[in-house]
Amino acid sequence: MNYRKLGNTELNVSTICLGTMTWGEQNTQNEGFEQMDYALDQGVNFWDTAELYAVPPKKETFGHTEIIMGNWFQKTKKRDKVILATKVAGPSREYLRGGGYNYGIEKMTEALNDSLKRLQTDYIDLYQLHWPERNTNMFGKLGYEHKDKGDWNKFEDVLGNLQKFVKEGKIREVGLSNETPWGVSKYLELAKEKNLPRMMSIQNPYSLLNRTYEIGLAEVSIRDQIGLLAYSPLASGYLSGKYRNEKYPKGSRMERDWEFWKYRYNTPNLKNAVDEYYKISEKHNLDMSQMSLKFCELQHFMTSVIIGATTMEQLKTNIESVNVNLSDEIIKEINEIQKIFPNPCP
């Protein structure tokens, strides 16, 4: 396994991060336990979850993923072997603390304490803001329209809340998710000016089908030591090749929940791009998933690549990607496809 520093901290996190959002929906607790056992044995010490999970989010499964992880920690007594990341939800559904903004002190305190209880731990290594409260582009939305009522919790206040949690020993480091270059820069600026907790990571989408992170945030990541935690590096399975020819295997994410995912993947050039990347993997005798994941890991702005497997076979294949070698020729061919079909699934 390979390791990198989380931001400018002394935490060494594996460049493969164990994603968990299917546990409690597509995966049972026992399957989650098996994944955690195997991942830790392979040196994957960085695990990511969220209070909102399992996904697709709904009242019946809210918090279930954290519960499964907490039960594993209780059973194995290996909490100290894991660098644990979770997230507090942004403006959300009615069933989540009544809906509305969540980054005020009362709701954040409730969210953190509930996560600690479900996870059966007394501290979180990395506590992340799942998505912005303000109106901005995220989750693939294009065409920015500035509509801002200004009633969201101000960044300085949010950082003050996080500082309180750090002082209480409940969290160690803080991070962002689904954030923009403006948002990241403002958080970093305020932290420096006001001596408040510094954001150490940005959890945003990144894959061969969505390299929009490179446009603005990549430079911020490198210059300010706030690396990317890439989610959806296989584009929800499209970059494994299993959905080629519009085949959706029974039980797969697209077969089960197409209505939830279609806004990201029902795009004109998706099929063409996937076919071209598949040809590259075939030409060089590479597993398509491993090629796609390794490309992500190689990026200089990358801290860790979050994988999400529903079977042990997928998990083993994904973790093994750290041992794959991508030649300059392969990288060049991948970049040529990006020029022809740029970011088909932003």
**Active-site residue set:** 53
CA 173 from chain centre, in angstroms, equals 16
Place of tokens 């803080």: 174
Say how many residues make up the chain.
346
What is the phi/psi pair of residue 172, to 5°?
Answer: -100, -50
Specify the long-range contacts of residues 72-78, CB closer than 8 Å, at least 24 apart.
72/32, 72/33, 72/36, 73/119, 73/120, 73/121, 74/120, 75/33, 76/36, 76/37, 78/40
Angle between helices 29-41 and 64-76 (to 10 degrees): 60
The amino acid occupying position 336 is: E
In 3D space, the residue among 88, 87, 96 whose CA is nearest the CA of residue 47 turns out to be: 87
As a whole number of angstroms, the distance between CA 177 and CA 87 comes to: 9
Contact status, residue 13 vs residue 48, Cβ threshold 8 Å: no
As a whole number of angstroms, the distance between CA 233 and CA 238 comes to: 10
What is the phi/psi pair of residue 29, to 5°?
Answer: -60, -45
72-84 burial, b if ≥16 CB within 10 A, otherwise e?
Answer: bbeeeeebeebbb
As a whole number of angstroms, the distance between CA 331 and CA 343 comes to: 16
In 3D space, the residue among 7, 4, 3, 304 whose CA is nearest the CA of residue 184 turns out to be: 7
